[in-house]
Copies of this chain bind each other. A is one copy, B any other.
């Protein structure tokens, strides 16, 4: 089977490259540590060509990229599409990389300027496009991570979103704050400890005091020898604060959780404690689907030709 295109999710700390068939199947995969922060001498073009060569891609195979490669500090800037951001606009406003010998397009991120809540995303919008393709339709999406995103999708557009620095705060507080003495120890999935759920419930009951609960983690460790509960409490507190802020209306019918691995476990548990029954979607699968859908919009001729042949 001849590949239709190569698809790349190029992030801050790593990249993934897939060869995709005309119907979107994955024909080959490469992962590399050459994220935005580690691009040096070879530059973006050199890194990309090396991975494509390893995958056996022909010299004329087109490439579609999402993620931080399109940031101002990336390869070529792909300016943000503003909310409400139609999914079609991601392909329509993709930026061609002039220096590349083959056809290489970088998809834009999305920005939000409305309601005094400026926000940006690069990469997650392609996963949301992938979910749209998969028929997941409208709804509220939660994409947890270092910087968790909550996005509302309506009528094939991202109409609004919010970012929470939950993952980064957890690492900073767990490793570098006065809580580190107790919270840095790790013992399996935190969401399996009762303290995780207790912390979530306490924040949901009184969300304006989320910051005020941090030090209580240390106080309980000192007063009641509850140091071993510190990491689960910290995780529950931060995820609970994120959920309390992200979900304002209890009428929110369904939440689509885009996560895998430990994050999927922690956020699934947290959302259930908060009274929701999230459906779980795999972020890598959605990224591939989103890149493929954008590629079909960029190169309908290739696709039609291949399909007919």
Contacts and interface: CB of A to CB of B under 8 A. Distances in A.
A291 interface: no
Interface in A193-221: 202, 207-212, 214-216, 218-220
A127 interface: no
Contacts of A219: 111-112, 118-120, 163
B147 A215 contact: yes
Q: Which one of A162, A208, A212, A218 has the greatest number of beta carbons of chain B within 10 Å?
A: A212
Contacts of A245: 208-212
A91 to B, nearest CB: 22
Contact of A172 (B117, B166, B176): B176
A173 interface: yes
A222 interface: yes
Given A162-B212, A241-B211, A223 B172 contact: no
A160 to B, nearest CB: 13
Interface string A156-172: 00000011111011001
Given A241-B211, A245-B212, A118 B220 contact: yes
Contacts of A215: 119, 147, 163-165
A118 B216 contact: yes
A279 interface: no
A83 to B, nearest CB: 12
A19 interface: no
A113 interface: yes
Contact of A238 (B120, B207, B209, B211): B211
A117 B215 CA distance: 9
Nearest to A117: B216
A238 B169 CA distance: 13
Given A118-B224, A120-B223, A169 B216 contact: no
A256 to B, nearest CB: 19
A246 B119 contact: no
A223 B165 contact: no
Contacts of A211: 164-166, 169, 210-211, 238, 241-242, 245
18 contacts: A80-B223, A111-B223, A113-B223, A116-B202, A118-B220, A147-B215, A163-B215, A163-B219, A164-B214, A169-B214, A172-B172, A172-B177, A207-B207, A211-B211, A211-B242, A211-B245, A212-B242, A212-B245
Interface of A: 72, 80, 111-113, 116-120, 147, 162-166, 168-169, 172-173, 176-178, 202, 207-212, 214-216, 218-220, 222-224, 238, 241-242, 244-246
Given A147-B178, A165-B214, 18 more contacts: A72-B222, A118-B220, A118-B224, A119-B215, A120-B219, A162-B212, A164-B211, A172-B172, A172-B173, A172-B177, A207-B207, A208-B210, A208-B244, A209-B245, A210-B211, A210-B241, A211-B238, A212-B245
